Structure 1
Amino acid sequence: MSQAKWQGVFPAVTTQFHQDLSLDLAATSKHIEALIASGISGLIVAGSLGENQTLEPAEKRALVAEAVKVAAGRIPVLSGVAETSTVAACQYVRDCERLGASGFMVMPAMVYKADGAEAMHHFRRVAAASELPWMLYNNPVGYPVDISPAQFAELADIRNLVALKESSANTRRITELRIEVGNRYQIFVGVDDLALESSILGIDGWVAGSGIAFPTENQYFWELTRAQKWDEARALYQWFYPLLKLDTHVKFVQYIKLAVQETGLGKEWVREPRLALTGQERERVLAIIRHGIENRPTLRGR
């Protein structure tokens, strides 16, 4: 089994659609190429931002196969795992392994609100279905199952569980996890507008959302945090912050897809039950995005 040590920016990429809402693999591939060119360390397809639950099973597999083809071994390609049953999740990871995926970002089983024992059982069963490495996506805000630091300590015997995406929006968790499990896992921040605060506390990576519309700036900001250039990072963060907050709204998919469209990296079309933004809401979000574009900072050495 690969002893992966994931770190750096692993953006969650949108799934691009044609206007008739059929899968647009060519447009998705174009965006992936732009992200790779920015210097990212890994890629996640079919996550929440990738509209996983609106994709048909065959579409998810086609998306993974295409991402693997485009990446061509340059970076690891992970797939989100958000099935509604444990059996389906196990089958999906086996299929993705055959398609060449490098690993997975595993969510709790969707729809059902599992208790602690059920959630732990689900993660153990999915882990056993493939030897590939994976990260556990902890997002009790969006998916009402919370894996505590003590539970992560219980899961530490799962050898291919190598990372966690911490999206509780509680930065205390980073310190609590380090106290509880040390450096057993690579910790990724999953809330964009806590990226600077989380970096100061000590993280290994960032599952970026809004930054996929601004990949060069996103990567540069991350590199500033790695170099502990906090004054420069804070200055760039102040420009970035309104854009990063697009990731923390219930309509984050629509908001970020609109940003991607405005920067020429994709289209805003989303599948139902999501609907494209209209009226005052669309104008408000466009104003934030366009202000960010108009005031893009000059990046030293870029």
Structure 2
Amino acid sequence: MKKFSKNKWPLFFTGINIVLFCLFFLLPAILGLYYSLTDYKGYSGEKFIGLANYMELLKDKSFYKALLRTAEYTIVDVPILYAVSLLVAVMLNNDKVKGKFISKIIFFLPWTISGIIAGVIWRWLFGENFGFINYVISELHGEPVPWFTNGNFAFMVIVFASVWSYTAFNMLQFMTALKNIPKSLYEAADIDGAKWIDKFRHITLPTLKPTSFMVILLATINAMKEFALIQSLTNGGPGTDNMLIVQYIYSTGFDKMRVGYASAASMVLFVVLLALGIIQMKIGGSSNEE
């Protein structure tokens, strides 16, 4: 009884987390798996059809197109986001930089804005007929750029908007890790006459391996699940050129009312994310052991 009284609060809060996990993750996951095996359309009366939805997915070119575009977006977005976040963190961690407090606020503000609002902001900036960027280009006697009628240009805008929105979170992770690096390592390097690039390569980057692993892992998962930003920015356009997998699931489930089929696609996405997470954890674990 004494043990219980001592541990009641940890047990209480752990129990709350378990209940929330079951209610908002485990139960929806089980329902999603069940619906993926049915022809559920959003209302009662579904029929069990086994693996028919998954067999149809294997032949669905639109699904493969969305999955491929999601992979391309992740491959392009994550390295740029990582590099920009690390660069900003290194700059703000430098004692010689002035105005760091204001700079932190400026870089942090985009993270406080929802994806929908961020998409609207970038839509206004790059609008073809009313956008600020094309206005500046026209004032400089240039030709307006078809930002949202050209798939590749729209893709570039999406990547820029994503980096702008998510840099702050990763920057904070890097800044915390940079502060934990012993200054004695840099002082020893200075005595040996090492240049800043050598200190960055041989001290900063190796020390940041655990943080880099977490940043890349979370950025990859977030990129694979991106929805709100793209939905408000391009709505997957032009056409379906920039429709990512979550948008495909949303469109299939709510616009076409094929909830069972969309659930099957979400199960495939879950397996892909799980596989990516396991691979990255194995790679990150082995690199940290070295």
State the TM bucket, normalised to the shorter chain: under 0.3
TM-score (norm 1): 0.27
Structure 1 or 2: more strand by fraction: 1
The structure, 1 or 2, with the larger RCO (C-alpha pairs under 8 Å, 6+ apart) is: 2
Structure 1 or 2: more helix by fraction: 2
TM-score (norm 2): 0.27
